[in-house]
Amino acid sequence: MNDFKYLKELSKQYPNISAASAEIINLQAILNLPKGTEHFVSDLHGEYEKFSHILRNGSGAIRGKIDDQFGNILSIKEKKNLASVIYYPEQKMDLMEEELSEEELDSWYRTTLIRLILMAKLAASKYTRSKVRKAMPPVFAYIMEELITEHGMLDKDEYFDQIIETILKTGQVRELIAALGHLIQRLTIDHLHVIGDIYDRGPGAHRIMDCLMDYHSLDIQWGNHDILWMGAASGHGACIANVVRISARYNNLDTLENGYGINLIPLARFALDCYKDDPCELFTISGDVQEEDVRELDLNKKMHKAIAVIQFKLEGRLIRRRPDFAMEERLLLDKIDYEKGTICIRGKKYPLKDTHFPTIDPKDPYRLTKEEEYVMEHLITSFKYCAHLQEHVRFLFSKGSMYLTYNDMVLYHGCVPLNADGSFRQVKINGKKYAGKALYDVLEHHARQGYFEQENSPKKKYGQDIMWYIWSNENSPVYGKDKMATFERYFVDDPVLKKETKDYYYQLIEEEAVLYQILEEFDADGVKGHVVNGHMPVAVKDGESPIKCKGKLFIIDGGFSKAYQKKTGIAGYTLVSNSYGIKLVAHEPFKSRDFVIREETDIHSDTVLSKKVIRRKRVGDTDNGKRIKESIKDLGCLVTAYRKGEISERI
């Protein structure tokens, strides 16, 4: 009965045998097309310019397509020029207009337009005409389709040449070149996977989010920094304090103030008043400091310390009200002897490097002063009512999740919490135990409630606290260390206390049995499947490899963030999965967009691994292919129902 109802509904879209049969033919044709190119990136950490460039050049794929199309016909200089036009068409044309005479410019436009048409034709060759048309700007869709499909056809040369001449005469060549450049970029990457940590220390997380919101096809797996910002956007005090502290530490308050319009004036006034005679030497500012920022460094250090103390207080209160989080060891403010300037951790006393705590009451160390309460009230209001931030966080919830299984690739940011024997660790959440995939699911469930549930409801409050738990707890899949030693890094000069021990996962991922268990737990094929995750920077310069368990797992955090590049020795990885197989690409540091445009020098990228498939993958081999096959089956049933007279055709 239900199947018949479904077929009746389907008949509204396909009213007769001809319509249903035509759609079967179309879908069957799509199944035989080459699989689209998937692009995997991780740990962007706010590095907008580099991320933008990686999307524009397709991790070197566009340069490869130029070689495929033109071989030895073009010189290296001509290929570089063409590549820079594809990456940054508007800016490159501005530069060429400055450098060339009118006659030279006319010739360059004509030549470049023809070369871009050939490149667009190559990039479009693996897609249906319908899909390519949808990727084109509507104003140029007809003419672009004509140029791409008609060029090179017999008896059409004059027709093609006339179109080119008309484009030049009407002054539309700039607009068309820009449209072709962006089309080639778009067709080079069919689907984007962002495996966490869009946010953190870099200056452009808000710009990355704007870019992602305009992107044609993507998914996101939340990183611990992302979930922290999501918690902050929900109005959670401890998450907000962490976000502001990290931004202050890495000289990135500009993202908060100018990127999102967060009002930091109450914090600045409080810090200047409360810590006016405190040099705050431990609260140094990391990252790039411009000359114009130097005069503000003293204020930033005071703000840094002020919000750090507030953070430790708020976290202490949270730990006390959530004993089920089992984080009592992170209660440290009550372990300080404020007269002697020492702290007792696990029965041993350590001297504190800074003993100036004017806002801490030794009898009630986790209580905020009235002034601190005032600062937090203003910050909470700013975060909750920032329209731009709320738009971004809603997008993260809409397109994101704790994990994703996609075409037999299991994607998650951090790790699957494991026991020493490789079994999934049981973790108690809200009174029940969860492990493996179920742990991810329950944490995501509560995180969504923390943002979307009714204000001040118990479910919302618990969900908000869970977002902080996901950020920092040892059992969090996106954190994966035994503790977050923020306090120790600031105040205690002992390397043992500062050490954050990684989850057993990182010791066991070379074992095939563990990887097969994870793949099957997340509904991927144990033989054909792969795991892709980030979070832990790969120290390439020390001989560490991003490829684990004979190529079954890839850790693709290679140092997008400048802060990690000294540790990793490179500037990031991207993984590319296309119809021919999988490529892991390592990138050298990105100088700047202007350097690429003027010098025509791309990021140098090396292919670290190339796994080719025996038979070229088709759409029919993908998850989307499975859905298309189901649609074909349903349409076949509809055709049968028409032929049997069970459903009447409408002609």
| Model pLDDT, residue 606 | 72
Q: What is the pLDDT of residue 24?
A: 97
> Of residues 394 and 51, which shows the higher confidence score?
394
On the question of pLDDT at 124 being above 70, the answer is yes
* Max avg pLDDT among 366-370, 532-536, 538-542, 566-570: 366-370
Q: What is the mean pLDDT of residues 263-268?
A: 97
Residue-level pLDDT at 277: 92
Query: What is the Cα Rg of the chain in Å?
Result: 28
Mean pLDDT of 472-482: 97
The mean pLDDT of 22-42, rounded to a whole number, is 95
Do the beta carbons of residue 286 and residue 251 sit within 8 Å?
A: yes
Judge whether residue 563 has pLDDT over 70: no
Tell me, what's the pLDDT at 537? 80
Can you give the pLDDT at residue 1?
Answer: 42
CA atoms lying within 13 Å on the CB side of residue 451: 26
Q: Residue 575: what pLDDT?
A: 92
Residue pLDDT, tens place only, 419-445:
999 999 999 999 999 999 999 999 999
Angle separating helix axes 224-233 and 237-249, nearest 10 degrees: 120
Give residue-wise pLDDT tens across range 107-118: 999 999 999 999
Per residue in 133-162, is it b (16+ CB within 10 Å) or e — as a string? bebbeeebeebbeebbeebeeeeeeeebee
In the chain, what percentage of residues exceed pLDDT 70? 95
Q: b/e per residue, 461-470, with b = 16+ CB within 10 A?
A: bbbbbbbbbb
pLDDT band at 535 (very low <50, low <70, confident <90, very high): confident
Look at residue 291 and tell me whether its pLDDT is greater than 60: no
Closest CA to 577 of 604, 550, 609, 546: 609
DSSP label of 350:
E
pTM of the model: 0.94
Rounded to whole angstroms, how far apart are CA atoms 190 and 243?
33
Given a contact cutoff of 8 angstroms between Cβ atoms, the answer to whether 475 and 504 are in contact is no
Q: For residue 409, list its beta bridge partners.
A: 406, 530
Give me the pLDDT at residue 507, please.
94
Q: Quote the CA–CA distance of 603 and 468 in Å, as a whole number.
A: 37
Residue range 271-284, pLDDT digits in tens: 999 999 999 999 99
Q: Is the pLDDT of residue 564 over 70?
A: no
Rounded Cα distance, 467 and 227, in Å: 6
Residue 292 pLDDT greater than 70, yes or no: no
